A and B are shown apart, each in its own frame.
Chain A
Amino acid sequence: EAQVTQNPRYLITVTGKKLTVTCSQNMNHEYMSWYRQDPGLGLRQIYYSMNVEVTDKGDVPEGYKVSRKEKRNFPLILESPSPNQTSLYFCASSYGGATNEQFFGPGTRLTVL
């Protein structure tokens, strides 16, 4: 089954404790991206990647890191999480770039205390 998976789905952590949210797709998509969703602010792009070893900043990259060492995986790293990073995070992938249908993962609900 073609899908985008994220782990964990729910996470409660404390300020400053490094964490990684994994994202994996099995559709051989070149383009992958991370969004955060906050009430009243919609979906804001954090980072995106056009292919392996190619990443770029989105609208809200501060406090986040990403890597793309394999085509299928695009982990999101919070080196020192802060309460303002409490949010719902979505990973997405697509064939060919941002101008094709984005397939979203199920989301990760992160709470930073």
Chain B
Amino acid sequence: GENVEQHPSTLSVQEGDSAVIKCTYSDSASNYFPWYKQELGKRPQLIIDIRSNVGEKKDQRIAVTLNKTAKHFSLHITETQPEDSAVYFCAASIHQAGTALIFGKGTTLSVSS
């Protein structure tokens, strides 16, 4: 089955710096890669996702890149702000009936001002 590895497990940056979180997946059939943000005590919420027919996607300060050959994808946050502090999860899934969604173990991002 699918396995998703996420690094680093913790990341500390200064406000205004960029942050990069990387994930690798094992199943080459995976074709959907979302990123979820979980603030302390809250539920996970989708912040951006990418499908395998696209190499990069941006939404304001957030971008995701996908390298299908290497089977890895990354989350890039530019101009970080204290409110970006949270746990970020990557995930992978295959678009077919009955499929599961496999999450990485998460990255705790701390942005200090």
- Which chain A residues have a beta carbon within 8 Å of chain B's beta carbons? 33, 35, 40-45, 48, 50, 54, 56, 58-59, 90, 97-99, 101-102, 104-107
Whether A98 and B100, one on each chain, are in contact in the complex, defined by CB atoms closer than 8 angstroms, is yes
Whether A98 and B49, one on each chain, are in contact in the complex, defined by CB atoms closer than 8 angstroms, is no
Q: Mark B45-56, 1 if CB is under 8 A from A, else 0.
A: 110010100000
Whether B100 and A59, one on each chain, are in contact in the complex, defined by CB atoms closer than 8 angstroms, is yes
Complex CA distance for A58 and B89, rounded to whole angstroms: 18
Instruction: Give the residues in chain B near A58, CB-CB below 8 Å.
Output: 100
Q: Which residue of A lies closest to B51 (CB)?
A: A99
Q: Give the number of residue pairs across the A-B interface with Cβ within 8 Å.
A: 66
4 closest Cβ contacts across the A-B interface? A99-B32, A42-B105, A104-B43, A98-B101
Q: Which residue of B lies closest to A96 (CB)?
A: B95
Q: In residues 1-51 of chain B, which contact A (Cβ within 8 Å)?
A: 1, 6, 9, 31-32, 34, 36, 43-46, 49, 51
Q: Which residue of A lies closest to B9 (CB)?
A: A40
6 pairs of residues in contact across A and B, judged by CB atoms under 8 Å = A41-B105, A50-B98, A56-B98, A98-B32, A99-B51, A102-B101
Instruction: Give the residues in chain B near A90, CB-CB below 8 Å.
Output: 43-44
Nearest chain A CB to B31 CB, angstrom units: 7
Interface centre among A41, A43, A48 (most CB of B within 10 A): A43
Instruction: Give the residues in chain A near B102, CB-CB below 8 Å.
Output: 45, 59
Whether A45 and B49, one on each chain, are in contact in the complex, defined by CB atoms closer than 8 angstroms, is no
Complex CA distance for A102 and B99, rounded to whole angstroms: 13
Instruction: Give the residues in chain A near B9, CB-CB below 8 Å.
Output: 40
Instruction: Give the residues in chain A near B1, CB-CB below 8 Å.
Output: 59
Interface centre among B9, B51, B99 (most CB of A within 10 A): B99
Whether A107 and B43, one on each chain, are in contact in the complex, defined by CB atoms closer than 8 angstroms, is yes
The answer to the question of B93 belonging to the interface, with a C-beta cut-off of 8 Å to chain A, is: yes
The answer to the question of B97 belonging to the interface, with a C-beta cut-off of 8 Å to chain A, is: yes
Complex CA distance for A34 and B37, rounded to whole angstroms: 18
